[in-house]
Amino acid sequence: MSAYQDQRVVVTGAGGGIGAALAHRFAAEGATVVVNDLDPARAAAVAGAIGARAIPVPGDASQIVAAAREALGGTVDVYCANAGLASGGDAAADEAVWEAAWQVNVMAHVRAARLLLPDWVERGSGRFVSTVSAAGLLSMIGAAPYSVTKHGALAFAEWLSLTYRHRGVQVHAICPQGVRTDMLTAAGSAGELVLAPTAIEPEAVADALFDGMEKGRFLILPHPEVADYYAVRATDPDRWLSGMNHLQQTWETP
């Protein structure tokens, strides 16, 4: 029997891409799944395909928690904070762009955890899955709001893990590079240069998560080479920054 048989799972941003792949995989493992997406039709399509419940809550994805608890019979075992906003732009990006990225990529995770943690700590179990991106470990050219807020999402996931792991709360941060989704398409020429050459299917991200959960890993790296890049960033930041600046110059060259 799967470890996730009869587990009660919530996946936000599940109308397509990584979220849909996670929802499909949890359902295949026997979990009872609730899916959420800002596009009600896409959420309903995924739910219909896997026998899940679609709860299209507008606004902050963390607002799904109360509705999901009601649909799942009172509690949530696994919360996948997958909804994200791929905001491009530089330091001069409009304040509204920065604020939207902050709210979706960071504060939605904080608000969901705030609601979930009391129950999880009381019963000594719960699992928080944060879809971060390799941009949270490294960075992404042409996307200052995305890079900065994904660093924030990773920092919050790390804080959750170091604070609550001894109380039974398990936390996982998924940090892929390119994944063949609408978000990759929206990344434009920067995505084509940096992400597209090694892009993987969303199902491969789900596989990496399940392997990581089985092994109790915090950091989920669907692209294993990201670990090497992260190590260089930590041990030789000037070398790493020079390499990233070379990518920036390549991208800027007509």
- Whether residue 231 is contained in a domain is answered as yes
Output the pLDDT for position 60.
63
* pLDDT, tens digit, 9 for 90 and up, residues 9-26: 999 999 999 999 999 999
- Whether residue 232 is contained in a domain is answered as yes
Q: Which amino acid is at 239?
A: R
Task: Name the nearest CA neighbour of 12 among 68, 92, 51.
Answer: 68
- Whether residue 123 is contained in a domain is answered as yes
**Interval 49-77 mean pLDDT:** 86
Strand extents, DSSP E, 42-110: 53-54, 78-81
H/E stretch holding 128: strand 126-131
When divided into structural domains, the chain yields a total of 1
| Alpha carbons 72 and 26: distance in angstroms, whole number | 14
- Whether residue 159 is contained in a domain is answered as yes
Strand extents, DSSP E, 169-244: 169-174, 219-220
**Which residue is listed with tokens 């890079």?**
147
- Whether residue 3 is contained in a domain is answered as no
**Phi–psi pair at 10, nearest 5 degrees:** -115, 135
Output the pLDDT for position 164.
98
| Alpha carbons 130 and 81: distance in angstroms, whole number | 5
Q: Domain limits at 62?
A: 8-252
- Whether residue 2 is contained in a domain is answered as no
- Whether residue 114 is contained in a domain is answered as yes
The alpha-carbon radius of gyration of the chain (Å, integer) is 18
CATH code where residue 192 lies: 3.40.50.720
* pLDDT, tens digit, 9 for 90 and up, residues 78-97: 999 999 999 999 999 999 99
pLDDT bucket at 42, cuts 50 / 70 / 90: very high
* pLDDT, tens digit, 9 for 90 and up, residues 212-252: 999 999 999 999 999 999 999 999 999 999 999 999 999 99
* pLDDT, tens digit, 9 for 90 and up, residues 167-198: 999 999 999 998 988 877 777 888 788 888 88
